Amino acid sequence: MQSMNGVNINLFQFERDLTWMSFFMDSQDRFYARYGGREDDAPESHLTKESLIQTMSRALELHRNGRVQQSRYEPGREPVRAPEDIPTMKALLAPRKDNNCIHCHDVKVAELKHLQQLGRFARDLVFTYPAPSAVGIRLDADAQNNVRAVTRNSPAQRAGIREGDILLSADGQRISTFADFTRVLELTPSESALPLEIKRGDQVIRASLELAGSWRRTSDPSWRESLHVAGPNAGFWGQKLAGEERKKLGLPLGKMAVLVTFIWGDYTREAGLKKDDVVIQFDGLTQDMTIPQLHAHLNLNRNYGDRIPLTVRRGGKDHELILSLPRERPKGE
Amino acid sequence: MNRKSYYILFIASPMLLVSIFATGTEEVETKPISVTGKIHWIFGYDQGQKLARETGKPMWVVFRCER
């Protein structure tokens, strides 16, 4: 088990919801490249053997030429700040048996809870280190500064970026990898124009991503461990039913079918939900969802005290239930 | 500094190769080579940094959180 205990979190800034991240550096706390990160749809979307080899080769070349990153996106070692310095960290760790082990996501959770205590929390703060797809760019998994696709009607398409373009820099920060670009996006204000330098064939051209609104909000953030800080949960866990099991119950493919495996919320039991129920409608939603997606929906869209309608299939019959969420966050959550 | 916080890999073999063949040339292509021996990980940033200073090699700092 690895831990974040004692790590200088001012120097090592990255998406804390990730379970793996890396940095290529020199001996003076300066960075050549960042390597890691993911799109919503796959945890290892940009962790490939080929991309690691390419990034290592690039880091060696940069090291040989002394080309550390030099821009406003580069953190310094000072002031040193450890996870233990976050005011809410002690309370977060207290209930644990292994309470001296700080996980990566604990750092983010503690910081978000601290902001809640200060009254400065907003749900959008969960969406840290937005992936390039947030601005309409799909980067290649292997050659990670190559644009593999551009989303229609996105800031990237409006900026004229095309498939096959190579991202050289964003606001002066060199882009060698997916993670290099997410670092820039992390520090890019919601309303801004982000200048890009692009190689297209033999030409180097300039473009500007015009960003506004909630572009940081990606479509499926359910993988983010810190999401539970943002709002209430449903008080139960479960699993999406596979095709064969659906057939037996007469449930269609492509629609919601979540088998309840564990209930922890008193409010959930009071609603009448039981283990082995199959949830087929939740808060008006009927599309096929995983249990993390179902929780993410509540975390981001509902408030404590809300009443959530759901339908479960039990013993071949459908039952309508109302889940009355607790009026305030339960202690310890 | 907690010793379990980091994996640090010095890209020892390829870096050595670069040092030998890149002398005096700016545009030598750096090709990866197979690492057949055991990778030497260092568990501690300060220790890794000290070694990087002594050897002049870059560091690969890896965070791996297991839930």
pLDDT digits (tens, 9 = 90+) for A99-124: 678 999 999 999 999 999 999 999 99
- CB contact at 8 A, B11 and A61: no
Is residue B57 in a domain? yes
Question: Is 70 exceeded by the pLDDT of residue B28?
Answer: no
> Domain for residue B59, yes or no?
yes
**Where is average pLDDT lowest: A11-15, A200-204, A308-312, B27-31?**
B27-31
Q: How far apart are CA A68 and CA B34, in angstroms?
A: 26
Residue of B56, B61, B67 lying closest to A103 (CB–CB): B67
Of the ranges A188-197, A270-279, A302-311, B8-17, which one carries the lowest mean pLDDT score?
B8-17
Q: What domain range includes position B39?
A: 1-21+33-67
**Quick check: B25 pLDDT over 60?**
no
pLDDT score of A107:
96
> Please, which pLDDT band fits residue B31 given cuts at 50, 70 and 90?
low
Please give the backbone phi and psi of residue A154, each rounded to the nearest 5 degrees, phi first. Answer: -100, 165
* Residues of B in Cβ contact (< 8 Å) with A48: none
A139 CB-near residues (< 8 Å, 6+ apart):
A46, A132, A145, A146, A147, A148, A167, A178, A181
Q: B6: pLDDT confidence band, cut at 50, 70 and 90?
A: low
Q: Is the pLDDT of residue A24 over 50?
A: yes
Split into its structural domains, chain B has a count of: 1
The chain B residues in contact with chain A (CB within 8 A) are 1-2, 4-7, 11, 14-15, 18, 22, 26, 30-32, 45, 49, 52-53, 56-67
Terminal Cα distance for chain B, rounded? 21
- Spatial distance between the Cα atoms of A110 and A205, rounded to a whole number of angstroms: 42
Asked if pLDDT for residue A96 goes beyond 50, the answer is yes
∠ CA(A181), CA(A19), CA(A73), 5° rounding? 30
Query: What integer is the mean pLDDT of A130-145?
Result: 97
Residue B1 has pLDDT above 70, yes or no: no
Q: B61 in a domain, yes or no?
A: yes
φ/ψ bin of B4: left (φ > 0), alpha (ψ from -120 to 50), beta (otherwise): alpha
**Residue at B26 is within a domain:** no
| Token pair recorded at residue A38 | 């993911």
User: Of A331 and A250, which is predicted with more confidence?
Assistant: A250
User: Does B14 reside within a domain?
Assistant: yes
Highest mean pLDDT among A196-200, B17-21, B39-43: A196-200
A57/B1 CB distance under 8 A: no
Closest Cβ opposite residue A57 in set B31, B57, B64: B31
Strand ranges (E), A58-186: 137-139, 147-150, 166-170, 173-174
Chain B residues close to A33, C-beta within 8 Å: none
Proportion of chain A above pLDDT 90, given as a percent: 92
Residues B62, A14: C-beta atoms closer than 8 Å: no
* B48 within domain boundaries: yes
Q: Do A25 and B31 touch (CB under 8 A)?
A: no
**Is B6 inside any structural domain?**
yes
Is B28 part of any domain? no
Cβ contacts (< 8 Å) between A68 and chain B: which residues? Answer: none
Least confident of A67-76, A176-185, B2-11: B2-11
Categorize the per-residue pLDDT at A77 as very low, low, confident or very high, splitting at 50, 70 and 90: confident
In whole numbers, what is the pLDDT of chain A averaged over residues?
95
ipTM: 0.91
B44 interaction partners in chain A (CB closer than 8 Å): none
What domains are there in chain A, each with its CATH number?
21-121 (no CATH), 132-211 (2.30.42.10), 231-324 (2.30.42.10)
Contact A21 B63 (CB under 8 A): yes
Q: pLDDT tens digits, residue range A78-88?
A: 899 999 999 99
